[in-house]
Amino acid sequence: MPPLKKLFNVYIFGNLHVALASFSLTKLSLLTQQNSDNIIPFFVFFATILSYNYIRLMRINTIKSELYNEINRWRIYLILLSIFALTACAFLIVKIRWQALISLMPFALLTGFYVLPPSISSKMTLRSLPGFKIFVIAFTWAGITVLFPLSQYDMVDASIFWLFFQRFLFLIVLTIPFDIR
């Protein structure tokens, strides 16, 4: 396989495009408050890689066979990329205030339960709830790209919830085409 195609496949299957989107939305939230710091945007970038690869690897047995074969072929790259992302998160997390980490917790839990059932006996996950999934995704992304970064710099006030609501609606609109298919 040509090196450029291999690199592109790692970019696609490693969810780097999704991580770039989360970095950009997080950075945008900070820039609206005249803050140009990059610690939180990079943390969100690496955490997104870790989260999306976790979701992909947890669901690998439920994916259609054609996509399963392709993802399975790139599995080692996903794992290595995830280990790198986890290491980067570990280095960055020590620079994050505990108040910001507390604001991140509900969204991290939603991400975890997106593919994991709440109990061993249950097969129901947040992802399997039709019509609910889109709101979980939008709520989680809005929280991680608005509330989390702004809580790091103690910038959360009433006006921030308007930005959160705008981001939530924007993400619903972006997610609708993926939910329809």
Token pair for 169 = 């609606």
**What's the domain range around 137?**
3-180
Positions of the chain with pLDDT lower than 70, given as ranges: 59-69, 117-122, 124-129, 181
Dump pLDDT digits (tens) for 74-99: 788 889 999 999 999 999 999 999 99
- How many folded domains does the chain comprise? 1
Sign of torsion, CA 92 96 98 103? Answer: negative
* pLDDT value for 86: 98
118: three-class secondary structure by DSSP: coil
On whether the pTM is more than 0.85, the answer is: yes
Task: Name the CA dihedral angle for 177, 43, 84, 111, rounded to a multiple of 10 degrees.
Answer: -50
- Measured CA to CA, the distance from residue 108 to residue 47 in angstroms comes to 10
Dump pLDDT digits (tens) for 129-145: 677 788 989 999 999 99
